[in-house]
Amino acid sequence: MPRIAAVATALPPHSFAQSEIRAACERVWSEQEDLRRLCAVFDRSGVERRHFAFPLDYYLAGPPFDVRNADFIREGTALAAKAARACLARAGVPADRVDHLFLVTTTGLATPSLDARLVETLGLRRDVRRWPLFGLGCAGGAGGLARAEAVLRDRPSERALVVSVELCGQIFSPRAQTPVDVIGAALFGDGAAAALVEGADPGAGARIRASHAVLFENTREVMGWNFTSDGMRLVLSREVPQVVLGPVREAVFDFLHRLEVPPTEVKYWILHPGGRRVIDTYLRAFGLSEPDVEWTRRSIARVGNLSSASVLFILADVMAGGAPRPGEKGLLCALGPGFGAEMLLIEG
Residues identified as active-site: 138
For residue 216, CA distances in Å to 101, 250, 273, 277, 308 come to 28, 11, 20, 20, 19
SS3 content of the chain, % helix, strand, coil (to 5): 45, 25, 30
Q: How far apart are CA 36 and CA 22, in angstroms?
A: 9
Beta-carbon contacts of 335 under 8 Å, excluding residues fewer than 6 positions away, are 138, 139, 223, 240, 243, 244, 248, 272, 274, 341
Please report how the helices 114-122 and 65-91 are oriented relative to each other, as an axis angle in degrees rounded to 10: 40
Beta-carbon contacts of 134 under 8 Å, excluding residues fewer than 6 positions away, are 104, 105, 106, 109, 113
Q: How far apart are CA 181 and CA 199, in angstroms?
A: 42
| C-alpha of 248 from chain center | 18
